[in-house]
Amino acid sequence: MRLLMARIQNYRSIVDTGWFSVEENKLILVGPNEAGKTAVLQALQQLSPPEGVKKLDELRDYPRSKYNDISTNKVNSSNVTVVEGKFKIEETDNIEIPSGFENCLYVFEKRMNNKAYHHLENGPSKITYKEISKDFKRLAIYVDKRTEVSPDENETSFAYKLSEITSSWVDSTIITESKAQLLDTWLDVVFEHIDESNVTEEERFDKLKSKINLYEIEKQLLREFSSHMPTFVYFNNYARVKPLIHLEQLASRIESNILDDVYYDYGNVCLLKLLGFDARELSNLGKATATGVTQEEWQRYRDQLDKRQYQLNAASVRLTREINKVWAPDENRAEASKLRIVADGQYLKVVVEDEMGVEIELDQRSEGYQWLVSFFVIFFAEAEEKYKNAILLLDEPGLNLHALKQAEFRKTISRLGESNQTIYTTHSPFMVGANELDIVRVVEMISREAGTKVNTTVTASDSNAILPLQEALGYDLAQSLFTQQRNLVFEGLTDYWYIEAVSEMLRSEEMANLNEKIALIPAGTASKVVFYATILKSHNLKVAALFDSDPEGEQAAKQDNLLVLLKQTNILQVKDFYQGNAKKVEVEDLLRDTLVSIAKSELEWDVEDIAASQVSRPIADIFSSQIREFSKYKLAKAFLRWARSNSANSLTQKEQEQWKLFIEKVNKALK
């Protein structure tokens, strides 16, 4: 089951975040300090928390500025919704969906009194009495005739009993569960008097049964969906694995239930779980001796020690492999280290062996390395239990890692997201990839009165909120500038997304292959394309410039200094590849039909008829004139989501030809 959308209200700094969408694998929350990012994660956890997580507490969790409403009973906590989620059922859930319920979403909410409520959205519409009244009355008349009972004279007639049930109903009355049960009982009695050879009445009976029993199907589905709810698991930076564990002391604390959950013990218990031992078992092994025992007892003792050693070794190898994917992604680098878990009497030690074979305790390595080890220990230890069907909520992961290590750890989170939907917060530009801006949500708090908001687009009233995104783009741009021999400079960020996504789609289907050594550089505006091209060319790099075929792009493409700087074949315009009838075209017009279809299905922006009748008009112009909330960003983001689950064959033939021509000309210009 996958979380599609979420909304949080009445929780700490949050008045109402509004509904915000959640990406299929990974979602990134950015924003300044005190914006409420942690509160968003902690509230989400309350949808389906693991055992041991503190429940909602109106004293601690209801917005403090409004607490008088609770204390004076002006507001009843049983009516206060805190967090809601809309979930989509997936094939892996193995739930058989009845006809009519194929497009339904599972909506789950938790209220301040910790009561949960759920319902289905987009299921079959509720049945009204008007839809079934005629068939019920006709069935009653038919049965009364067969039993030779006059409906007008005998109170035992089926028509009379039906009128008793429905006497207060009107056409618009919704057939609720209680009403459906009354009708269902009436039908069960009627069934005995229907001639099985009468096809009309048999079909009428079946149709009525099916309609009024929708409530039972829905109840059954809700039970099924509820049993598949994922667990929401919240990680922060506090839980750590202690480098030296005294097994007897830890076993005693576990047995006395006096664990220190905040700092070390949680991490240590997870380490033991990963090894497949409990603290008492390892402690007893550390005390055992082999003197004065039989050969059989000696062998049993040796087997226990060997089992311990093999399990310690297996866990060490697994952790080392995962840690070095982040810490030393190049296996040949000297930086790669081996993690070893060693049992020595009453002590369990976590040591790191460097490339020289020198062993040092974990706490003598950097804070970043300690955090990384702890993260993987905790995750792997719990993965087979509470995290098997889980949504991971990571609060500032990798905070102690160096910037470049964070960039590598971001890839690890992407891998985790393939099996466990993951939401994480960050301030770091290195935890946001330049190609991941479509999966970012900006969290901000404009004022305490408005509370925390989660923006559905990369926009914010406070420029500090989007600083990590600006830095991520700046770093990516700086890395691409002057490092690649071949450079394609174009106008906007959305153009970058379209070019990157379509190129990958065509490459996967072996239709066309944009040279992977070409750096794609969004300049921001047409005039800045000229500026970037000038700088790159001055460093003796190969440069091609791509402009929209709108007035601004046409003017920039004809600037004298650009014509002197680049060959004509290296000054490209969208109209060079476009095969339609529109004028003043932009990159979006190379995907005209597909974008119209995606906008309708994904964003509910329907411009199909206008686009078909106004073929000479640019598609972005049509969208902006017809859709009040239109933005190029939203459209491009919807296309990226679509592209992840579709191939190049899903593009129209004309679109494929246009993009193949585009790739051909770019490759030729920068060969």
The CATH number of residue 65's host domain is 3.40.50.300
Q: Band the pLDDT of 467: cuts 50, 70, 90.
A: low
Give every CB contact of residue 582 below 8 A, 6+ residues apart in sequence. Answer: 589, 592, 615, 616, 617, 618, 619
Q: What was the pLDDT predicted at 309?
A: 82
**537-555 pLDDT per residue, tens:** 877 889 999 999 998 889 8
DSSP element (H, E) containing 619: helix 619-626
Model confidence at 231: pLDDT above 80: yes
Nearest Cα neighbor of 571 from 553, 534, 533, 545 is 545
Go through 146-171 and write b for each residue having 16 or more CB atoms within 10 A of its CB, e for each that does not. eeebebeeeeebbbbbbeeebeeeee
Q: Are residues 96 and 139 in the same domain?
A: no
**155-185 pLDDT per residue, tens:** 778 888 898 899 899 999 988 888 988 999 9
Residue 68 in any domain: the answer is: yes
Model confidence at 463: pLDDT above 70: no
Listed residues 386, 416, 433: the one ending a domain = 386
Model confidence at 387: pLDDT above 80: no
Per-residue pLDDT averaged across 308-332, rounded?
74
Domain extent, residue 204, equals 129-214
> Between 607 and 645, whose confidence is greater?
607
Q: Are residues 313 and 371 in the same domain?
A: yes
Give every CB contact of residue 17 below 8 A, 6+ residues apart in sequence. Answer: 6, 7, 8, 9, 40, 452, 453, 454
Q: Are residues 341 and 357 in the same domain?
A: yes
- Whether the CB-CB separation of 186 and 161 falls below 8 Å is answered with yes
Model confidence at 288: pLDDT above 70: no
Encoded tokens for 516: 């992977």
**Which amino acid makes up residue 465?**
A
Q: Are residues 63 and 142 in the same domain?
A: no
Residue 177 in any domain: the answer is: yes
Residue 233 in any domain: the answer is: no
Least confident of 233-247, 510-524, 606-620: 233-247
Q: What is the DSSP string of 243-272?
A: SEEEHHHHHHHHHHT---TTTTHHHHHHHH
Q: Are residues 192 and 302 in the same domain?
A: no
Q: Are residues 492 and 594 in the same domain?
A: yes
Listed residues 386, 408, 433: the one ending a domain = 386
Per-residue pLDDT averaged across 385-406, rounded?
79
Q: What was the pLDDT predicted at 132?
A: 92
Residue 174: DSSP 8-state: B
Give every CB contact of residue 254 below 8 A, 6+ residues apart in sequence. Answer: 269, 278, 279, 280
Per-residue pLDDT averaged across 68-91, rounded?
90
Compute the residue count for the chain: 671
Q: What was the pLDDT predicted at 481?
A: 61
Instruction: Classify burial at 311, counting beta carbons within 10 Å of its beta carbon; exposed 0-12, middle 13-18, buried 19 or more.
Output: middle
* Rounded Cα–Cα distance for residues 73 and 59 (Å): 13
Q: Are residues 120 and 157 in the same domain?
A: no
Q: What was the pLDDT predicted at 12?
A: 92
Model confidence at 338: pLDDT above 90: no
Model confidence at 490: pLDDT above 90: yes
Residue 232 in any domain: the answer is: no
Q: What was the pLDDT predicted at 22?
A: 93
Give every CB contact of residue 369 below 8 A, 6+ residues apart in sequence. Answer: 323, 327, 352, 362
Residue 225 in any domain: the answer is: no
Residue 375 in any domain: the answer is: yes
- CA 277 to each of CA 52, 273, 347, 557, 655: distance values in angstroms, whole numbers, following the listed order: 22, 6, 14, 69, 59
Residue 569 in any domain: the answer is: yes
- Whether the CB-CB separation of 487 and 521 falls below 8 Å is answered with yes
Least confident of 203-207, 430-434, 524-528, 625-629: 430-434
Q: Are residues 65 and 108 in the same domain?
A: yes
Give every CB contact of residue 340 below 8 A, 6+ residues apart in sequence. Answer: 316, 350, 351, 352, 353, 359
Per-residue pLDDT averaged across 605-631, rounded?
93
Listed residues 404, 436, 464: the one ending a domain = 464
Instruction: Classify burial at 183, counting beta carbons within 10 Å of its beta carbon; exposed 0-12, middle 13-18, buried 19 or more.
Output: buried
* Rounded Cα–Cα distance for residues 521 and 540 (Å): 17
Per-residue pLDDT averaged across 338-367, rounded?
81
Q: What is the DSSP string of 72-101?
A: TTSS-GGG-EEEEEEEE--GGG--PPPTT-
- Whether the CB-CB separation of 337 and 350 falls below 8 Å is answered with no
Q: Are residues 162 and 280 in the same domain?
A: no
Give the count of domains, the chain. Answer: 4
For the chain, percent helix, then strand, then coil, each to nearest 5? 50, 15, 35
Model confidence at 335: pLDDT above 70: no
Q: What is the DSSP string of 512-538?
A: ----TTEEEEE-SSHHHHHHHHHHHHH
- Work out the percent of the chain whose per-residue pLDDT is above 70: 90
**124-150 pLDDT per residue, tens:** 888 899 999 999 999 998 988 888 766
Strand partners, 395: 425
Q: Are residues 378 and 401 in the same domain?
A: no
Q: Are residues 524 and 630 in the same domain?
A: yes
Q: Are residues 246 and 207 in the same domain?
A: no
Residue 220 in any domain: the answer is: no
